[in-house]
Amino acid sequence: MSESFQRETRQRRAIRRVLLDSSRPLTPEEVQELGQRHVPGLGLATVYRNVKLLADEGWLAQVELPGSPVRYELAERPHHHHFVCHACDQAFDVHGCPPKVESMAPEGFQVESHDIILYGLCPTCT
Amino acid sequence: MSESFQRETRQRRAIRRVLLDSSRPLTPEEVQELGQRHVPGLGLATVYRNVKLLADEGWLAQVELPGSPVRYELAERPHHHHFVCHACDQAFDVHGCPPKVESMAPEGFQVESHDIILYGLCPTCT
DNA sequence: ATATGTGCAAACTCTTTGCATGGAG
DNA sequence: CTCCATGCAAAGAGTTTGCACATAT
């Protein structure tokens, strides 16, 4: 019943470091590759376990963009959505949010959260 | 180089029927289950093959909702979005769309399309 | 000393593919 | 009669889990 205690391991620290240092959301595989610069033997299973743990703790947010593998980014950021560029396939943050998004649901549906994804061309690819 | 000819099989007809009769996007597994009412032995591989074929033809649209398996719906339908129930994991159509969604993009981003996904509880699971 | 964390490999899930048989044309 | 389509089972990709050992506390 006590919350499980979190140990400070080299691999866990490496994983946090990698995500702190990244300016974009990373896939588990990317986290592993980058993390191995700090901890050479870093296993993919360990990345998955920790990334999931950190997401459950609320430290990371899962970014699931249709058609791409799941990515993770720091959760600290304020509510935002993503813009995906068709050309370079990168994801960008989009701030703000239409006021009545959640009132779109039909009668009887309880909305708890929402995602908005914009697609198009980023300034660089225009 | 001639386009491969399409045969009218019982399973192919069942798969089309199931998707025509559905008011919501269906996963391949759901298509199989519903299709087996028409063709008992309907195999999942057959569903995958046909659904992919129909999507390539433009008759079906792929609906990729973060966190759920891919779903398919008729391509002809008017602009709409989706609601995903946390409990039963089914996807439902949501009509309408906030007016200024596409103006959320920062300067310099050319928006071409967008997705909105609502999450919560459907009437049955409330 | 103790129990959590890790690495490895096996298990799982979802999807695709190879092959022999079935059936549309 | 021809070939395409199907069903089955095996193969792949991505993710999770079981287990024995390592290690943070």
Write down the pLDDT at residue A27.
92
B1-34 tens-digit pLDDT: 445 578 999 999 999 999 999 999 999 999 999 9
Q: Given an 8 Å threshold on Cβ–Cβ distance, is A67 in contact with B64?
A: yes
B72-119 tens-digit pLDDT: 999 999 999 999 998 888 899 999 888 788 889 999 999 999 999 999
CA B70 to chain A, closest CA, distance in angstroms equals 9
% of chain A beyond a pLDDT of 70: 96
Pairing of strands A91-95, A110-121: unpaired
Which residues of chain B (32-61) touch nucleic strand C at CB < 7 A? 44-45, 48-49, 52
- pLDDT of residue A3 exceeding 80: no
At position A113, the amino acid (one-letter code) is: S
Of B16, B35, B27, B115, the residue nearest B70 (C-alpha): B27
Please, are residues A64 and A82 in contact by the beta-carbon 8 Å criterion? Answer: no
Write down the pLDDT at residue A92.
82
Write down the pLDDT at residue B109.
94
Pairing of strands B110-121, B81-85: parallel
**What residue spans in chain B does CATH classification 1.10.10.10 cover?**
10-74
Q: What is the CATH number of domain B10-74?
A: 1.10.10.10
Secondary structure (DSSP) of B41-103: T--HHHHHHHHHHHHHHTSEEEE--TTS--EEEETTSPS-EEEEETTT--EEEE----TTGGG
- pLDDT of residue B41 exceeding 80: yes
- CB contacts of A121 in chain B (<8 Å) are 109-110, 112
- CB contacts of A81 in chain B (<8 Å) are 104
Burial of A36 from C-beta contacts in 10 A (0-12 / 13-18 / 19+): middle
Please, are residues B63 and B72 in contact by the beta-carbon 8 Å criterion? Answer: yes
Of A69, A66, A64, A75, the residue nearest B114 (C-alpha): A66
Write down the pLDDT at residue A2.
40
Write down the pLDDT at residue B2.
42
> What is d(CA A25, CA A124) in angstroms, rounded to the nearest whole number?
19
- pLDDT of residue A4 exceeding 70: no
Write down the pLDDT at residue B1.
45
